[in-house]
Amino acid sequence: DSAEYYYNLSIDIDPDNALAYAGLASVSLVRAQNGMTPFYESALTGIKFLEKAQELDSAHSEIHFLEASFNTWGTWEFEKAKVEFEKAISMNPNHALLRVYYAHLLCYYKNFNEAIVQAEYALRLDPLNNLVKGIYGMTMNNCRRYEQADSIFNVVLETEPYNAISLSNLKTTYHMQKKYEEAYELWQIDHRNDPEALVAMDRGYKKGGYLQALENLADLMVERSKSAFITPWRICTLYT
C-alpha cells in the first residue's frame, strides 16, 4: 500500500513519469503473487498501468523487465516474457535482479544449464542482495541442486530469520530431500502468527506425521477459501 501511495504521488507531481506507472503495475503483480488478490484482477489492473508506461518510455530497460515479469507471472505468456527479458538484458546487462529472474523463467523451459549461468552471474553482480540470493536459491531448487539451495537460503536466514522467499523455499528444499523434520519446523515458523493453522498441523503430525500435517493445513485453507480469497497454488502445493 505504501508503494502504491508513493507511485501515485509521483504521478501527481509528474504525470509523464513512466517508471511510476510501471511501479503501479508491479504492485498489482506482487499482490497477486502473494495471494492478496486474484490473478485475473491484478492482470486487468496491471496491464492498464504497464501499457501507459510503455506509451511514455518504451526504451527503458526497467519497463521491459517489468513487462517480462508480468508476462511470466501475471499472464503466463512465456514466449513474450523471454523476448522482453532478453531485450532488457541487452539494454542493461549488469542488472542482477533482471538476470536472476530470467534464470527463473529459463527453468520453465527446462533450460537448466543456462538458468544456472544466469543465476550465478546475477549473484556475482550483487552478492549482498538477499532478494537476488533468494531467487538464486529458487533456481537451484528448480535445477535439483538442493545442497546449493540449502546453503544460500540459510545464509539469508542468518541475517533475516523471517525472510519470506528463503523461508518458504527452504521448506521446498527440505521436502524434496525428504528432510521432513526440518521442513515441518519451517512450516511451524512460517505460520507462527496463525494459531489455528498450528493446531491443524499439530493434529495432523500426531496422527500421521509430516505429510498428514500438510494435508490438514491444506484442508484448513480450502475451508477458508470459501469466505476469503486464497491463491490456489498456496493450497495445491500442500497436497504434494
Residue 33 has pLDDT above 90, yes or no: no
Question: What count of other Cβ atoms lies within 10 Å of the Cβ of residue 95?
Answer: 19
Give the SS3 label for residue 25.
helix
For the chain, the straight-line distance linking the first and the last C-alpha, in angstroms and rounded, comes to 33
Q: For residue 238, how far is the Cα from the chain centroid?
A: 17
Overall average pLDDT of the 22-32 stretch:
85
Overall average pLDDT of the 151-172 stretch:
96
How far apart CA 156 and CA 166 sit, in angstroms, is 7
* pLDDT per residue as tens digits for the range 173-229: 999 999 999 999 999 999 999 999 999 999 999 999 999 999 999 999 999 999 988
Categorize the per-residue pLDDT at 46 as very low, low, confident or very high, splitting at 50, 70 and 90: confident
